[in-house]
Amino acid sequence: MYSTELARANLRLVLLEAVLWASTWADAREPVRSLRSASLAPYIFNESRHETVHDVALRRHLQLEAQGRVRRIGGRTDDLVDASSIALGHVRAMLEAGRLLVWERDSTVDDGVGQTVTSGYLDESDMPPWDTWVAYVDSEVGRCGYLVSWVPEPFVAPVAQAIKENAYAALYWLRESKLLLAQILRSEDLLT
């Protein structure tokens, strides 16, 4: 997982683009709709959750590119680039204002507690809105697969409350975990 520089470059790009996109559309008055864009809605019949998250990230990239907010990187799909060279350097401050959330779908119970506590930012299964998705990691030793998403600053406090009330520990902040992805993002100086 993310063992090559190319894979890490792609992770950096997807994370920063998720932050750029979600920062633009996050509206604390519309927690249900503001970050569930119809144009990014996930296709539910992909072969894997990883593929579903990848498709959302690709559509987000293409829309940001069409809007002129990021430029085409060149090459096949990803060249090794520094985020500042593709007009995403300013996103770093936005990244630090929010937090990265981990959601373990296979550990959750569809009880609607997270949905209630966050006024719909999380759904009845505690799934975060797809506009914020960064990566899906199939599994690690002793862990279920998990989705990582970026939580914009206006939603950090309600999501923190949902984490506190989550009876099955299916929601938690990435920075407080020992997951390999947390270690990787720390080494990339993208998780403090």
pLDDT digit string (tens) for 117-144?
Answer: 999 999 999 999 999 999 999 876 667 8
* Residue 171 forms part of a structural domain: yes
* Residue 154 forms part of a structural domain: yes
The whole domain housing 31 covers 5-187
Greatest Cα pair distance in the chain? 46
Q: Is 126 left (phi over 0), alpha (psi -120 to 50) or beta?
A: left
The pTM (predicted TM-score) of the whole model is 0.91
The average pLDDT across 170-182 equals 95
* Domains identified in the chain, total number: 1
* Residue 167 forms part of a structural domain: yes
Check residue 83 and give its pLDDT: 53
d(CA 71, CA 39): 20
Buried b (16+ CB within 10 A) or exposed e, 127-160: bbbbbbbbbbbeeeeebebbbbbbbbebbeebbb
* Residue 192 forms part of a structural domain: no
Q: What is the pLDDT of residues 87-108, one digit of tens each?
A: 566 788 899 999 999 999 999 9
Where does 92-141 show beta strands of DSSP type E?
Answer: 99-103, 133-137
- Please state which of the ranges 36-40, 51-55, 74-78, 127-131 shows the lowest mean pLDDT: 74-78
Check residue 88 and give its pLDDT: 63
Q: What tokens appear for 3 in the block? A: 């063992």
